[in-house]
């Protein structure tokens, strides 16, 4: 993977993580770096799932792939908040 690919993955992960965080209601008491990690993982898993369903390469914006990624990020944020949020993890 090139440096450009790594930087792109981090930016996409941050955006996907932030969108996932917006979907989850309430205040999420987790650091931004953890949101970014969740976003990167969700982006990778969402792409794998979209490929499995054959919707990863469409004409224009791949909305279904993006939906998979954001939903996975929302689930990831909710799980982390549920597990770590009660322990008082702060930014």
Please state the φ and ψ torsions of residue 14, each to the nearest 5 degrees. -65, -45
* Model-wide pTM > 0.75: yes
In order of 16, 55, 64, the CA distances from 59 in angstroms are 21, 10, 12
pLDDT for 86 equals: 61
List the end-to-end C-alpha distance of the chain, in Å, as a whole number: 30
pLDDT for 82 equals: 86
In order of 9, 56, 60, 78, the CA distances from 85 in angstroms are 26, 33, 38, 9
Q: Which ranges of the chain have pLDDT less than 50?
A: none
């Amino acid at each position: 993977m090139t440096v450009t690919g790594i930087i792109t993955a981090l930016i996409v992960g941050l955006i996907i993580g932030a969108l996932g965080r917006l979907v989850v209601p309430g205040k999420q008491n987790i650091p931004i770096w953890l949101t970014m990690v969740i976003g990167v993982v969700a982006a990778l898993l969402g792409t794998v799932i979209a490929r499995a369903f054959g919707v990863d390469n469409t004409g224009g914006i791949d909305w279904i792939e993006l939906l998979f990624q954001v939903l996975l990020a929302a689930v990831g944020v909710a799980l982390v908040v549920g597990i770590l949020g009660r322990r008082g993890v702060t930014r």
